[in-house]
Amino acid sequence: MSLTVLNHPLAEHLMAGLRNKDTAPEHFRHCARRITTLLAIEATREMKVAQCSVETPLETMKGKDFAQGLSVVPVLRAGLAMLEPIVELFPDVSVGYIGLERNHATAVAHSYYVKLPKLAGRYTLCVDPMLATGGSASQAISMLKAGNPAAIVMVSVVAAPDGVARLERDHPDVPIIIAALDRGLNDKKYILPGLGDFGDRLYGTI
């Protein structure tokens, strides 16, 4: 398994906005969209390409185009924040959804909704802003693997070492792309220093 943490001044600026407890929902959503764009660019770095012929206004040249399809599957509900920027970057992307709800007492997630496109042979992004214990991500990736995609990449905004270790154990073949690796988890399994509940801050439901 490989772990990539974004290393860019813009990513650090956006993360500061996401972490700030006084950031209003509309600015939080703005930062979430921008950080997702950076993450998606990094997460698709290994997509296969093939040579193609391009007619410029002056002559014919060889270019490169995608050689495989792309799918994105957000983990509901917070993962929806990461969907729109990816669709904007890749308009032909196939979209699926996995609904996982965490029990706040046990920190164990249960599935309440799954709707996936055909994943066979496709480069697939699993997106969930917070990789805390890794339980939900591991469940989602197992569901995706059943569809036989060509590759799966886990994309999160913030991760805890616990979540990274869980995916390394359960899915060592899945790369992880994140914007920040935080210190750890509190007794309620929230990431520290973290940024709070991503979904609540995104939708103003605090």
56 an active-site residue?
no
Active-site residue, from 29, 34, 170, 197: 197
122: CB partners within 8 A, 6+ apart: 68, 69, 70, 71, 94, 149, 150
* Other beta carbons within 10 Å of 186: 11
> In which element (H, E) is residue 145 found?
helix 135-145
Query: How do 97-102 and 70-76 pair as beta strands?
Result: parallel
- In angstroms, the CA 66 to CA 49 distance is 4
106 an active-site residue?
yes
102 an active-site residue?
yes
Active-site residue, from 45, 169, 173, 200: 200
Active-site residue, from 106, 169, 183, 205: 106
Active-site residue, from 19, 29, 33, 102: 102
Contact 171, 141 (CB under 8 A): yes
187 an active-site residue?
no
Active site residues per annotation: 102, 106, 197, 200
